[in-house]
Amino acid sequence: MINRKNIYVALTIFFAVLFYVWDNYSVEDLNFSTEKVNTGTSNFLPTTTTGQIIHHNYYSLSYAEKFEQAEWVAYDLSKGHLSNSNFDRPYFIKDRKVSSKSAHYKNYSNSGYDKGHLCPAGDRKFSKSAHDETFLTSNISPQKHDFNSGIWNRLEQKTRYWANKYKKLYVVTGGILTSDLKTIGSEKVAVPNYFYKIILDYHEPEIKAIAFIIPHKETNKALYKFVTSIDNIEEKTGIDFFSEMEDSLENKLEKSTSYSNWNFR
């Protein structure tokens, strides 16, 4: 005769193990495509202040364990990457390539903050594997909803507009991480007061760059109001963004605050 109590115990253990495996699933074991995208990041990777650079198939990042998020995420965005495909949103999972372990998504629960993508899922809709790879917790930062869905979303859309217009861009983005920031969750995920984005159009005949620092709050101001120099972002973050670039070109691009050669429609 079957002992119902033993069946109940066995099922409880089975589902507990199943939940544990799912909750701690290694990104290397995910069914991501092994296809590699020529991201261009090998030529333009920023320096790291943390010593922990992670390369994924479709973007790279420098993880800051102290703040439980990336200090920068870098990726190539070309016209060919743009797509109207709609994929189901997967669950956020921890990034097992981060040696110190990236923060758990549960830190965001009931925090009042969105899981704000740094490399947007909307920039990686050319394949399901590329889209789903943006749902690693190393690729998110706490963002107020009105900021995330407002001006930050407008900047992401503008970046895609420029990728379509200028064919191929290189993008670096992140929060400005300082020691006095508010934190959320048991792992104390820092909430940046400012976010930055740097966009490089590195094709002849006109190589150009534009940079933004945007306060972490709702605003209806025009995007060009937040244009700044790359030098200013480097001063605030301690990161050297284009250290591998030829010096005279690097200096020219990084000191500029001009946006006249970018199309703000």
For 8-45, what is each residue's pLDDT tens digit? 656 565 555 455 444 444 333 333 333 344 443 547 89
Taking the C-alpha atoms of residue 21 and residue 24, their distance in angstroms, rounded to an integer, is 5
Q: What confidence score (pLDDT) does residue 40 get?
A: 39
Q: What is the extent of the structural domain holding 173? A: 34-255
Distance in Å from the first CA to the final CA of the chain: 76
Q: Is the pLDDT of residue 255 over 70?
A: yes
Is 77 inside a domain boundary?
yes
Q: Is the pLDDT of residue 1 over 70?
A: no
Is 239 inside a domain boundary?
yes
Is 50 inside a domain boundary?
yes
Is 187 inside a domain boundary?
yes
Per DSSP, helices labelled H in the chain are 4-23, 41-44, 128-133, 145-148, 151-166, 230-237, 247-255
Is 2 inside a domain boundary?
no
Q: The CATH number of the domain where 98 resides is what?
A: 3.40.570.10
pTM of the model: 0.85
Is 135 inside a domain boundary?
yes
Summarize pLDDT for 178-232 with one digit per residue, the tens: 999 999 999 999 999 999 999 999 888 889 999 999 999 999 999 999 999 999 9
Count up the domains in the chain and report the number: 1
